Amino acid sequence: MIPENVLGMRLEDALSLCRAKGMAEPAIIATHAPRGQRSEGTLRVIRVREGQWTVSAFMDATPKE
């Protein structure tokens, strides 16, 4: 069980927290919207299940006009 809520965290930060607590790393499943698959962006945890996290890419910066 995850001792802290990792939802919304960057994947790297959530995994670091997991390692620091001495927990086994979960399986990572990447998902994306049906349209407009992104190759850039920051992977963030959007779902947590026992032994499995789902991540999706989010644009952290405001797009330049």
Q: Summarize pLDDT for 4-55 with one digit per residue, the tens.
A: 689 999 999 999 999 999 999 999 999 877 766 666 789 999 999 999 999 9
Reading the block at residue 44, the tokens are 């963030």
pLDDT tens digits, 37-46: 666 789 999 9
Q: Which domain holds residue 36?
A: 11-58
**Is residue 38 in a domain?**
yes
Q: What pTM was estimated for this model as a whole? A: 0.79
**Is residue 2 in a domain?**
no
**Is residue 65 in a domain?**
no
**Is residue 63 in a domain?**
no
**Is residue 48 in a domain?**
yes
**Is residue 41 in a domain?**
yes
**Is residue 6 in a domain?**
no
**Is residue 15 in a domain?**
yes
